[in-house]
Amino acid sequence: MAGSTSMVGGMIRVDPVYTPAHLRGRGYAGAVTVEVSRAALTAGATDVVLFSDPANPTSNALYRRIGYVPVTDFAGYDFSYDAPEAG
C-alpha cells in the first residue's frame, strides 16, 4: 500500500507506504511507491518527497534504488508543560 498527499506548492509527499509482514520481500512496496511517485509527477508535481526512518536500512535502500535521494535529517521533539497548581 502506498498513498500520497494533496499537492501543495508543487510538492506531493508519498505517505504512507506499508506492506504486511507476511508479504514483505516480494517487491510490492517498491512497485507501489514507484507508481504513486509517477502519478504525482503526472499530476504536475515538481517535487515528490517521502520521509523514511533512518534506522530502517531496508526501506532506505529501496527508496535509493527507485531514485529517491537523501536530502536532510529531521528530529522531532515533544515538549510537555506541567502547569503549576493553583494555590
For the stretch 24-43, pLDDT in tens is 999 999 999 999 999 999 99
For residue 67, the model assigns a pLDDT of 95
Q: Other C-beta atoms within 10 Å of 30: how many? A: 17
Q: pTM here? A: 0.81
Looking at the domain assignment, is residue 54 inside a domain?
yes
Looking at the domain assignment, is residue 8 inside a domain?
yes
- Secondary structure element (H or E) that encloses residue 32, with its range: helix 28-42
Looking at the domain assignment, is residue 74 inside a domain?
no
* pLDDT at residue 83 tops 80: no
For residue 87, the model assigns a pLDDT of 63
Looking at the domain assignment, is residue 32 inside a domain?
yes
Looking at the domain assignment, is residue 40 inside a domain?
yes
How far is residue 53's CA from residue 55's CA, in Å, rounded to a whole number?
A: 5
Q: Domain count of the chain?
A: 1
- Which structural domain, as residue segments, surrounds residue 49? 2-65
For residue 85, the model assigns a pLDDT of 77
Instruction: Tell me the mean pLDDT in the region 59-80.
Output: 92
Q: Domain containing 35 — which CATH number? A: 3.40.630.30
Looking at the domain assignment, is residue 36 inside a domain?
yes
